[in-house]
Structure 1
Amino acid sequence: MSTPLRLVIFDVDGTLVDSQSDIVAAMTVAYDAVGADVPPRAEILGVVGLSLDVIFPLLMPDMSPQGHEKMCEAYKNAYMEMRARAGVQHSSPLYPGALEVLNRLQMMPDVLLGVATGKSKRGLDKLIEGHGLEGVFVTQQVADFHPSKPHPSMILQAMADVGAEARDTVMIGDTSFDMEMAAAAGVRGVGVNWGYHGRDRLSAASVLIDDFAGLPAVLDEMWKVSA
């Protein structure tokens, strides 16, 4: 009996890369653009993972759609400028062990890797290029083409792209949005404890891990159960 195709989907910000400094700085620019007070850092990081068109109405519910649009544009421009100035590897460094685990998983003939992120396609392309990850992720789902997390659209499309079944698909992420998206898509979620949501917000995860080194063993155990 042949081994089924496995699909491992990664969130990006807070899971693969630590981009919080640039996120907070870009949010500060966005709030300055409309003359509003910047919320606390924890509140900003608490909505990372959602799409920008959802974030600003959530954080600023009394502002007009035009104001939200102005904040989105200010955020995008500031983020791009900071990334161009500092370089991707400094602006959004990979978490310790991330590259090693990605390389290990990519070498497995029955495993395919994907991404599901609130980033734009342009932003993800720049990140992948900056870290030399071209060809690693065979399916890339971004905010441009999907409803915001936790809607399951990104995961469902990723599975359709590669022909993977839900029982053989795992979502890796650091936020409640990732874990709720996984649950909505009928796949298992692995929550990571180094990102932007605390352990208490990851209750929808099938399992939690404390470092990247622990991920392969967790995946092996999951796949044994589903075999």
Structure 2
Amino acid sequence: MTAPLRLVIFDVDGTLVDSQGDIVAAMTHAFERADHPAPDHSAVLGIVGLSLDVAIPRLAPDLPATIHAEIVQAYKDAYMGLRAQSGVAVSSPLYPHARDTLEALHAVPETLLGVATGKSMRGLDKLLDGHDLRHLFVTRQVSDHHPSKPHPSMIQAALSETGVAPENAVMIGDTSFDMEMARAAGVRGIGVTWGYHAPEALGAASTILSDFRDLPGVLDQLWR
């Protein structure tokens, strides 16, 4: 009997790549441009995964919407500038064993790979092209087209585009937003410990990984 199509959806920052240096630096620059105290390192990492229009008001709830919009744009400009200076491989390095694991999953005919991220499409494409990964993902869901995580819209769109049933899909991410999004969409969530939220924040996860190389085996167990 032919195996059903299965979809493995990945978060990006904190799951596939470690971009915290540029994220924190760009956020600090953006707040300084607005003449407002920059949030500390832990606060910035706590909002990674949210769309910027949701993240900035959380970091500075006392500022008006006009200043929030200025900070969002200043962050985007600073982030792209930092990436241009150092290159993708330096600014957003892949986590250990990420590439090998992605390629191994991609080699399985019934397994499709996707992305669901708070990044813009421009930012995601630059990242994927910089690491030569774009060809691995058949669906790419970004903040341009969806409400911020943990709204299930990104996963729902990925399921619709690929024709995969929710029970045959998983969401892999490092934040509570990823796991809550998975639960809201009716798919299982796999949390990872190497990202930006503490493992105890991933309570909605079906299981938690501490090594990328364990992912294929975990998927086999989930779908057995």
More off after superposition, 90-99 vs 56-65 = 56-65
Residue 55 of structure 1: aligned partner? 55
Residue 121 of structure 2: aligned partner? 121
Cα displacement string for residues 107-143 of structure 1 (whole angstroms, at most 9, x for unaligned residues): 0000000000000000000001100112110000000
Residue 104 of structure 1: aligned partner? 104
Q: Partners in 1 of 2:134 and 2:207 — Cα distance?
A: 29
Q: Partners in 2 of 1:29 and 1:100 — Cα distance?
A: 35
**1:80 partner amino acid:** M
Q: Partners in 1 of 2:117 and 2:144 — Cα distance?
A: 10
Q: Partners in 1 of 2:29 and 2:61 — Cα distance?
A: 18
- Deviation, 1:72, is 0.4
1:26 aligns with 2:26: yes
SS at 1:177's partner residue?
helix
**1:61 partner amino acid:** P
Residue 221 of structure 1: aligned partner? 221
1:150 aligns with 2:183: no
Runs of 4+ residues deviating >4 angstroms: none
Point out where structure 2 has 5 or more consecutive residues left out of the alignment: none
Using the size of structure 1 for normalisation, the TM-score is 0.98
- Deviation, 1:208, is 0.3
- 1:60-99 equivalent positions in 2, closer than 5 A: 60-99=60-99
- Deviation, 1:4, is 0.5
Residue 35 of structure 1: aligned partner? 35
Residue 160 of structure 1: aligned partner? 160
Q: Partners in 2 of 1:25 and 1:87 — Cα distance?
A: 15
Q: Partners in 1 of 2:33 and 2:8 — Cα distance?
A: 39
Point out where structure 1 has 5 or more consecutive residues left out of the alignment: none
Q: Partners in 2 of 1:53 and 1:211 — Cα distance?
A: 32
**1:152 partner amino acid:** P
Cα displacement string for residues 5-38 of structure 1 (whole angstroms, at most 9, x for unaligned residues): 0000000000000000000000001110111111
What RMSD over aligned residues (CA atoms) do the two structures have, in Å? 0.5
Share of identical aligned residues, percent? 60
Equivalenced residue count is 224
